[in-house]
Amino acid sequence: MAEWQEITGGVTAPKGYKAAGITAGLKPSGLPDLALIVSDVEAIAAGVFTTSQVKAACVDYCRQRLQAKPFARAILCNAGQANAATGSQGVRDAEESAELLAKELNISPESILLASTGVIGQRIKMDALRGGIPKLVATLSHTGSDTAAGAIITTDLVTKSIALETTIADRPVRIGGIAKGSGMIHPNMATMLAFVTCDAAVSPHLWQEMLSRAADRSFNSITVDGDTSTNDSLIALANGESRTPAITEMGAEAEKLEAMLTAVCQHLAKAIARDGEGATCLMEVQVTGAHDELAARQIAKTIAGSSLVKSAIFGRDPNWGRIAAAAGRAGVPFEQENLNIKLGDFLLFENGQPLPFDRAAASAYLKKAAANSVLPQDFVATNNSNDLSVDRKNIPGQRVDNPVIIAVNVGNGHGAGKAWGCDLSYDYVKINAEYTT
């Protein structure tokens, strides 16, 4: 049984946080496009960012801020323009964004972190941003998480949000998160953004270590299309407002907090994978028997990212050969005679040998899993940041807990890992073929 419970409130569920999201005119579609998260007090800040050599101005800005001082009060995110590959003017736009917000909040610009999402090569529409920041600050609320979650998305069909609560030192401690991402998802820390808030007190180095490990087990273990973005950012704040004793080293309380942080990140990561552009179902690849966790995750992510595997899942085709091939090219040594593959409850391949199985029943399992793995309709975005009319409607209610399960064992090692992805449908090409035209 988990040591925490799910609660409402997203990033404003932890004590001492406000959030807001508005339409500032950054997106041609007229959808919400400017979001803000603010801690009532200075918070410990940690971040994990894209490893791409082509980076958005906000990524370099945040890295520099966190290296200089691992503290922050606010996270500002614009949607509509990625402000990546925009040269020195893009850098100045990012700096001005922080300065404008700092003045409105009456805090230091060094206490502000930035994120952007949208089309690469497009600068932020600064006139719209300048006009929007006062309105954004004016609408900050201790219940504003949903509006912030709605203002950071682009091609996403739905918002992604979660909050969990546990007890540390006999006091409630909460972690909340929101995220966006649908296409260009293959993080190396896609267009992927995630913001996490926590009201525990944690030392800066430990909070960063926790976040990095949580990222590896969540956002770095998902894939939609194999494309890493210029803007990938995972930012986490911990403000200590729960009034629990400071956690400064690993131990029972630190492990409990990190487990809850990982659970928040995994929920958001799976929601991103399920909302993959054109996707009809979520896939979970479970790998056991590797020599360590890293090797197991590498095999799992290779399978989840295989275009052939993804296409077979979309076609409801239990083609285990594609799974075996993907595992074999993952760059992790194992003996073929130790390989086992299951699809749901169907054992397809055992000890390096193919097995007879009910192909029609296995296909029916894939159809049922897809039918049960549906998206919520409480927030459906029909237009992305470029005013493309993405016809991805009529999807009935939220489920990220019924994925297609692919279980692979590669030996007798203690390493186990998971990765999440989605199927590859015709609609993915439709959505991306004319993205800027």
Enzyme catalytic residues: 191
On whether the CB atoms of residues 300 and 419 are closer than 8 A, the answer is yes
Which segments of 341-425 does DSSP mark as H helices, in order?
A: 359-372
Q: What are the E-state strand segments in 120-247?
A: 160-168, 171-180, 193-198, 233-238
Distances (CA, A) of 209 to 48, 144, 239: 10, 28, 17
Please tell me the distance from the alpha carbon of residue 322 to that of residue 238, in angstroms, as a whole number: 43
Question: Angle CA(258)–CA(55)–CA(48) in degrees, nearest 5?
Answer: 5
Q: Which residues contact 368 (CB under 8 A, 6 or more apart)?
A: none
CA-nearest of 321, 351, 347 to 338 is 351
Read off the tokens for 247. 């956690």
Give the distance from CA 392 to its chain's centroid: 20
Please tell me the distance from the alpha carbon of residue 181 to that of residue 158, in angstroms, as a whole number: 10
To the nearest 10 degrees (0 to 180), the angle between helices 320-328 and 293-305 is 130
DSSP class per residue in 55-116 = -BHHHHHHHHHHHH-SEEEEEEEEEEE--BS-HHHHHHHHHHHHHHHHHHHTS-GGGEEEEE
On whether the CB atoms of residues 272 and 321 are closer than 8 A, the answer is no
Please tell me the distance from the alpha carbon of residue 81 to that of residue 31, in angstroms, as a whole number: 13
Which residues lie across from 114 on neighbouring strands? 76
Residues listed for the chain: 437
Please tell me the distance from the alpha carbon of residue 316 to that of residue 370, in angstroms, as a whole number: 9
